[in-house]
């Protein structure tokens, strides 16, 4: 059990519960997340923790977590191109300059959820 993912799963469950209650939804079917590969989140652990917490909650019981994974990418202003960041080092493969302009890969966000009323 990874505490980091458990804490994140807890926050997600709370956010989804709040939204479901606001929408007067009886049951949550799916929760879709966007997670960057450099966010530090282990998606398998997060799914496991989410399902465990969801099973204890009547509104969320049996709901599925869907995860869109985003690659870690940066932008080189000298070459005007995007490239893949490897091992957290954002160095342009062409000009070897280091970039501090991250395009994607650090996200952790709820994209959407599907309710049953
Ligand atoms: Zn470059």
- Note the pLDDT tens digit of each residue in 91-100: 999 999 999 9
Ligand 1 centroid, distance to 76 Cα (angstroms):
5
Tokens at 2, concatenated = 């990874």
Ligand 1 centroid, distance to 77 Cα (angstroms):
7
Ligand 1 centroid, distance to 74 Cα (angstroms):
10
The residues that bridge with 110 in the sheet, in sequence order, are: 33
Percent of the chain with pLDDT over 70: 98
CA dist list (Å): 8 to 90, 92, 108: 26, 32, 10
| Predicted model pTM | 0.86
Ligand 1 centroid, distance to 105 Cα (angstroms):
19
Tokens at 53, concatenated = 């917490």
Length of the chain, please? 117
How far apart (Å, rounded) are the C-alpha atoms in residues 34 and 52? 20
């Amino acid at each position: 059990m990874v505490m980091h993912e458990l804490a994140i799963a807890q926050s997600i469950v709370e956010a989804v519960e709040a939204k479901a209650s606001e929408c007067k939804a009886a049951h949550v079917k799916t929760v879709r997340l966007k997670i960057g590969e450099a966010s530090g989140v282990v998606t398998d652990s997060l799914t496991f923790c989410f399902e465990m917490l969801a099973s204890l909650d009547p509104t969320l019981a049996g709901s599925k977590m869907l995860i869109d994974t985003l690659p870690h990418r940066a932008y080189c202003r000298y070459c005007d191109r995007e490239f893949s960041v490897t091992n957290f080092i954002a160095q342009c493969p062409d000009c070897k300059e280091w970039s501090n302009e991250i395009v994607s890969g650090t996200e952790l966000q709820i994209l959407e959820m599907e309710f049953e009323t």
